[in-house]
Amino acid sequence: MLIERQARAQEHRVVPETIARFLFDAAVYAQLNIRPVASLPHTFDMPNATPGVLRRYERDSGWRYGPVASRYSRCSTDRKTAGEEKLEWVTPGHPLFEAVRRHVLAEGQEPMQHGASYYSPFLKDPTTFRTIEPLNEL
């Protein structure tokens, strides 16, 4: 039963490259200056202070992730790399990740009310989805 649970947990985990891609894609919306570290997988530097637009989320009543640091130096979304290199491990549940996630969700509320276009290699034309109710917190 334990082996089955471990296998299921492994299947459902969010892989480091997905988390890193989210952070890099979200950086422009969250005013984050992050730079990839070519020599380490899924690792990035943040040379500037953490933007105030992200730090404000720690004051929300539902915030339960601890404080968002005023500055992060080198971080990794890969657990092994973070452990070996003694880096900040950024993953779902980490204050920085959660602040970025909340900020992107908040920024996307209004545009998503107008719908979104999704492209698929299996369809000839883009498909548009329209939301009926506001997106809820994940």
> CA-CA distance, 78 to 126, in Å (whole number)?
34
Tens-digit pLDDT profile for residues 32-70: 999 999 999 999 999 999 999 999 999 999 999 999 999
The secondary element (H helix, E strand) that includes residue 103 is helix 95-112
CA angle 17–81–14, rounded 5-degree value: 30
The whole-number pLDDT of residue 4 equals 79
The whole-number pLDDT of residue 76 equals 97
CA angle 27–57–24, rounded 5-degree value: 15
Tens-digit pLDDT profile for residues 99-138: 999 999 998 877 777 766 666 677 777 666 555 555 555 4
Classify the C-alpha dihedral 21-95-13-102 as positive or negative. Answer: negative
Provide Rg for the chain, Cα atoms.
17
Tens-digit pLDDT profile for residues 25-39: 999 999 999 999 999
Q: Rounded to whole angstroms, what are the CA distances from 67 to 22, 53, 119? A: 21, 14, 38
Tens-digit pLDDT profile for residues 7-20: 676 666 678 999 99
